[in-house]
Amino acid sequence: MTERRHSRIIIIGSGAAGLTTALYNSRANLEPLVIEGIQPGGQLTITTEVENFPGFPEGIQGPELMDRMHKQAEKFGTKFIFGTVNRANLSKTPFELEVEGRFFTCDALIIASGATAKLLGLPSESQLMGHGVSACATCDGFFFKNKEIAVIGGGDSAMEEATFLTKFASKVTIIHRRQELRASSIMQERAKNNPKIKFLWNKNISEFVGTPQTGLKGIRLKDTISGEENVFECQGAFLAIGHVPNTQVFKGQLEMDEKGYLLTKGKSTKTNIPGVFAAGDVQDSIYRQAISAAGSGCMAALDAQHYLEEQEFKQK
* Active-site residue set: 136, 139-140
Residue 174 contacts residue 201 (beta carbons within 8 Å):
no
Cα 184 off chain centre by? 19
Of 89, 72, 95, 4, nearest in space to 307 by CA: 95
Any residues with CB less than 8 A from the CB of 140 and at least 6 apart, and which? Answer: 134, 236, 238
Distances (CA, A) of 155 to 53, 116, 122: 19, 16, 21
* Contact positions vs ligand NAP (CB under 6 A): 52, 120, 153-158, 160, 177-178, 182, 184, 240-243, 288
What's the CA gap between 149 and 132, in Å, rounded?
9
Judged by beta carbon, residue 182 or residue 198, the one nearer ligand NAP is 182
Residue 293 contacts residue 284 (beta carbons within 8 Å):
yes
What's the CA gap between 90 and 275, in Å, rounded?
9
Shortest separation between residue 31's beta carbon and ligand NAP, angstroms: 32
Judged by beta carbon, residue 30 or residue 175, the one nearer ligand NAP is 175
Task: Using CB positions, name the residue nearest to ligand NAP.
Answer: 155
Angle, CA 117 vertex, CA 111 and CA 122 arms, to 5°? 135
Judged by beta carbon, residue 81 or residue 120, the one nearer ligand NAP is 120
Shortest separation between residue 48's beta carbon and ligand NAP, angstroms: 9
Judged by beta carbon, residue 40 or residue 155, the one nearer ligand NAP is 155
Judged by beta carbon, residue 156 or residue 303, the one nearer ligand NAP is 156
Range list of H helices, the chain: 16-27, 62-75, 123-128, 137-140, 156-165, 185-192, 290-315
Shortest separation between residue 82's beta carbon and ligand NAP, angstroms: 26
Shortest separation between residue 56's beta carbon and ligand NAP, angstroms: 13
Shortest separation between residue 33's beta carbon and ligand NAP, angstroms: 28
Considering Cα of 292, then 295, then 297, then 303, what sign does the dihedral take? negative
Shortest separation between residue 106's beta carbon and ligand NAP, angstroms: 30
Of 120, 182, 177, 189, nearest in space to 156 by CA: 182
Judged by beta carbon, residue 182 or residue 192, the one nearer ligand NAP is 182
Shortest separation between residue 202's beta carbon and ligand NAP, angstroms: 10
Of 128, 115, 144, nearest in space to 205 by CA: 128
Any residues with CB less than 8 A from the CB of 71 and at least 6 apart, and which? Answer: none
Judged by beta carbon, residue 59 or residue 212, the one nearer ligand NAP is 59
AA letter at 231 = V
AA letter at 184 = S
What's the CA gap between 179 and 307, in Å, rounded?
48
What's the CA gap between 14 and 3, in Å, rounded?
24
